[in-house]
Amino acid sequence: MERLPLEYPTREALKIYLRRLLLISAVIGANFVLLGIFLLILKLPVVDPRLSLLFLTTLAAAIACAVYFATLYYKRGAVISLRNPLGQVEISQRAISDFIQREGREVEGVGDLKAKVRSTGEGVDVELSLSAQAEGEIPRLIDELQSVVKKYLNSTVGIENVKEIKVKVTKII
């Protein structure tokens, strides 16, 4: 399969992101209206420090929510595009990471394993974080794990250009 450039984010993820952003903008606008009504009812001066603090806190919370949802949907929308004879295939980076975790746990000596897949302009980078059993040789374990992951990405998924597989041993058990 021929690897195409990464589509980041997908159209569906972008639509969801824009809906969330619109909803958060509406909440911010509603806060402005409610603040104005509150000021009119209580006939408080606009410069009341308590109201300014309430407004700024609400605004900061709304901005934090917007950033959270933007990054959440941006990450979920990440795909790797491949082309086969029948057309384009998109595989989410999350799906590849989950499968790498399942395959990697089958390597003898690997305990808990977490994988992150990132597409770069030159290929795919994989970051593995794992706990290793002290009974085996850790360098041999890492070599075997990297080979299993590279073979899986090449043969099963169809990603030919695996640029780098970083391994971080977080715990020796």
Domain spans of the chain, in order of start: 2-77, 91-172
Query: What is the CATH class of 91-172?
Result: alpha beta
The average pLDDT across 73-99 equals: 77
57 — pLDDT class (breaks 50, 70, 90): confident
Give the whole-angstrom CA distance, residue 34 versus residue 157.
Answer: 53
For residue 118, the model assigns a pLDDT of 85
> 154 with 170: CB under 8 angstroms?
no
User: In terms of pLDDT, which residue wins out, 56 or 102?
Assistant: 102
User: In terms of pLDDT, which residue wins out, 112 or 18?
Assistant: 112
Whether 146 shows a pLDDT value over 90: the answer reads yes
The average pLDDT across 138-162 equals: 89
User: In terms of pLDDT, which residue wins out, 42 or 9?
Assistant: 42
- By DSSP bridging, strand 124-132 and strand 162-172 are parallel
Give the whole-angstrom CA distance, residue 149 versus residue 124.
Answer: 12
39 — pLDDT class (breaks 50, 70, 90): low
- Bridge partners of 113, per DSSP, are 130
For residue 168, the model assigns a pLDDT of 93
For residue 11, the model assigns a pLDDT of 67
The average pLDDT across 2-24 equals: 66
The average pLDDT across 37-65 equals: 68
For residue 108, the model assigns a pLDDT of 86
Q: What is the pTM of this model?
A: 0.56
For residue 169, the model assigns a pLDDT of 92
For residue 114, the model assigns a pLDDT of 92
Residues of the chain above pLDDT 90, percent: 16
Whether 86 shows a pLDDT value over 80: the answer reads yes
For the chain, give the longest Cα–Cα distance.
74
| Cα atoms in the 13 Å half-sphere on the side-chain side of 76 | 13
